Structure 1
Amino acid sequence: MVNSSHEAMHRIFQEYPGLFTGVSRALGLPFIPPKSVTVLPTDLTEIQPVERRVDTLLRFDGEEPILLAVEAQSAKDSNKPSSWAYYLSFLFAKYKTPPLLLVVCQDRATAEWAAQPVPIGPRWWAALTLHPLVAGPHNMPVITDPDEARADLALATLSAITHAKNPDINGILKALSAALQGVPEAVADPIIEFTAQGLGVNRRAGELWRNLVAVDLSFYKSYISEEIRDEGRAEARVQTAAEDILLVLETRGLDVPDEIRERVTGCDDPELLRHWLTRAVTAPSAEEIFTDAGENA
């Protein structure tokens, strides 16, 4: 299973190699769709005991064969350009095929940093220049039309992942959810999983997606869908318990300071919330709901 937003950002290209066609179109590249695509080993380790591993590596065979190395990048890292330059040089030497580097980011600052050409050599002569392609919130399409999402589910998923922090993420996720209705489960399940994991940087977006899966896509019964729904139900129960505690305190006319309110709404322990709810019924002040929980307010 995909278990992090980092994995989702690059592994989606392994699952849907044709996604690069949509990405290249969004980037305005004259990329010719290949006749076939091969997922290659990602281990670029040399004989020396220094491991170098690219996130995802694909070979596109067609009119103009290329190698595509996909890297997921969550933050600026001054060591990355030298690693990326090594990857491209190694791939060209090993496969004798033009290599291309695509860096996928979820924030504009990292994306703009990654897109900067890096000259390698003396300042007066660049023997090599690293020039990555970058897909991020600054150039990936914002897909809020279910028909557009349905036409390219993989690109719609990448749109959701790269725009996880975008104010329009609600519309993107609702469009993707609507597009998945009626899609065979075998097709929908990976999309549901990649989206859930790829949104990891944005808790609010992740909660919205789990709610959409629980309601709009409730007819899917796979373990992935059920797991996401279970997470959504658990979070909903915690949120309801926190709201109940505050409602009881306010109904009793007790003053509820902001720090108490934040402590209650920030708790994700159902048992502790249940205990606080019991205390809220009789506690003489909002602060004292915590006294029997082994904590000080």
Structure 2
Amino acid sequence: MVSSPHEAMHRIFQEYPGLFSRVSEVLGIDIPPPTSATLLPTDLTENSPVERRVDTLLRIETQDDGPFLLAIEAQGKKDLRKSTSWPYYVTYLHNKYGGLPVLLLIVCQDHTTAEWAATPITIGVPRWQTLTLNPIVAGPHNMPVITNVAEARKDLALATLAAITHADNPDVGAILKTLSAALREAPDNITEPIAELTAQGLGNRPAAQQWRNLVAVDTSFYTSFMSEEIRDEGRDEGRVEGQAKGILLVLEARGVPLTDEARKRIADCNDSQLLDQWIQRAATATSTDEVFADCH
């Protein structure tokens, strides 16, 4: 099952496509600032029984060097299967999009996984490497530890990603307190997705409860579907019903058209994992078809 931290580590780039420009600057990679970024379909499946799907895919335009594709993968642990999947992603996208340059960004939350992910993947024989893949890796080893409120306010998206990647840092309490304080005077349309992405990125770590307490005290916007679910999470009864209501509330609040059939499908669903997936999609979807995509 896809975890909440996994979703947050790549979905933040969907919410803030320009974030990669600041991440690359932090990592010391010389990439021109983007003039625009477009979210692209993530399905890389061909006519074969094997489904391949990148976590997030962006087409980024730059003024000087032209467009490139940015494939973003959230990686929670070592997975030797990625040594075949990641080169496939890059070569497939390069072919599908007419030879556009492709960059692969891996976002991690622990040093061991980040070190493994940064290892170049080579295809060939010892005397001749046909292909070498060099992923860009963002993790606790190179993302900034932001404990200055003014610095966090300058770039809330970067501060959020940094907090997520430092979820296991012994000083995560100071990092989260800084981010929460930085949100105090921000408008609701900025604070809500950041608060929810941070909660999602912390997963079930002890720091997650600390973040919930900080946000509840430091901000006044704490009324979104995720916060209501957090407050009620100790109640055993009506969990699935609450998830369904949360999805409907989010879609209605965002002005997404809802047919009677769609309402019934959501209300009648008793699969908690599937409802969690729909909740995540409801935060960015423009139609119920996007919410239900690939769900039969």
Normalising by the smaller structure, the TM-score range is 0.7 to 0.9
Q: Counterpart in 1 of 2:39?
A: 39
Q: 2:200 aligns with which of 197, 200, 212?
A: 197
CA drift at 1:118:
1.5
| Partner Cα distance (1:226, 1:199) in 2 | 17
Scaled by the length of structure 2, the TM-score of the pair is: 0.75
* 1:280 equivalent in structure 2: none
Aligned-partner SS, 1:57: strand
Q: Which string of whole-angstrom CA distances, capped at 9 and with x for unpartnered residues, describes residues 32-64 of structure 1? A: 111110000000011223211000000001232
When residues 197 and 120 of structure 1 are mapped into structure 2, their CA distance, relative to the original with a 3 A threshold, is same
Identity, in percent, stands at 65
2:113 to 93, 110, 118: 110
1:139-161 Cα offsets, whole Å, 9 max, x none, are 00001111111111111111111
How do 1:62-141 and structure 2 match up within 5 A? 62=62, 63-64=64-65, 65-95=67-97, 96-141=99-144
Residue in 1 aligned with 2:268?
Answer: none
- Aligned equivalents of 2:228, 2:177: Cα separation in 1: 19
Give me the whole-angstrom Cα distance separating, in 1, the residues matched to 2:227 and 2:152.
Answer: 19
Aligned positions, number: 231
In the TM superposition, what whole-angstrom CA distance separates every residue of 1:12-51 from its partner, at most 9, and x where no partner exists?
A: 1111111101110110011111111000000001122321
1:256 aligned partner: none
Q: Which residue of 2 aligns with 1:144?
A: 147
1:10 aligns with 10
1:158 is aligned to 161
Match of 2:56 in 1: 56
Rounded to whole Å, the distance in 2 between the matches of 1:227 and 1:215 is 17
User: 2:78 aligns to what SS in structure 1?
Assistant: coil
C-alpha separation in 1, matches of 2:84 and 2:184: 44
- Judged with a 3 Å threshold, the aligned counterparts in structure 2 of structure 1 residues 137 and 84 are, in CA distance, closer, same or farther, namely same
Greater helix share, structure number: 1
Aligned equivalents of 2:35 and 2:215: distance in 1?
35
Q: Give the distance between the partners of 2:118 and 2:187, measured in 1 at CA.
A: 37
- Residue 227 of structure 1 corresponds to 229
> Is the 1:121–1:128 contact (alpha carbons within 8 Å) kept by the matching residues of 2?
yes
Deviations 1:166-210 (A, max 9, x none): 011011100100010011111111000100010015x22101101
Contact 2:3 2:203 in 1 (8 A): no
Amino acid at match of 1:44: L
Q: 1:227–1:183: structure 2 CA closer, same or farther, 3 Å change rule?
A: farther
Instruction: Determine the C-alpha separation between the residues in 2 that align with 1:219 and 1:71.
Output: 30
Q: State the alpha-carbon separation in 2 of the partners of residues 47 and 114 from structure 1.
A: 28
SS of residue in 2 equivalent to 1:212: helix
Q: Is the 8 A contact 2:73 2:107 kept in 1?
A: yes
Structure 1 runs, 4 residues or longer, greater than 6 Å off: none
Equivalent residues of 1:185, 1:220 under 8 A apart: no
* Structure 1 residue 220 displacement after superposition: 3.6
What is the TM-score when the length of structure 1 is the normalising length?
0.75
Give the RMSD, CA atoms, in angstroms.
Answer: 1.6
Q: Partners in 1 of 2:192 and 2:213 — Cα distance?
A: 15
Q: Which runs of 5+ in 1 are unaligned?
A: 235-297
Q: Shift of the alpha carbon at 1:105?
A: 0.4
AA aligned to 1:124 is R
Tell me the amino acid that sits aligned with residue 94 of structure 1.
Answer: K
Q: More deviation in 105-114 or 29-38?
A: 29-38
Amino acid at match of 1:113: W
* Greater Cα shift, 43-52 or 125-134: 43-52
Return closer, same or farther for 1:114/1:50 CA change in 2, 3 Å cut-off. Answer: same
Output the amino acid matched with 1:39: L
Shift of 1:225: 3.4
Partner amino acid for 2:134?
H
Over 3 Å counting, the alpha-carbon distance change for 1:190 and 1:3 in structure 2 is farther
Residue equivalent to 1:27 = 27
Equivalent residue of 1:45, what SS? Answer: coil
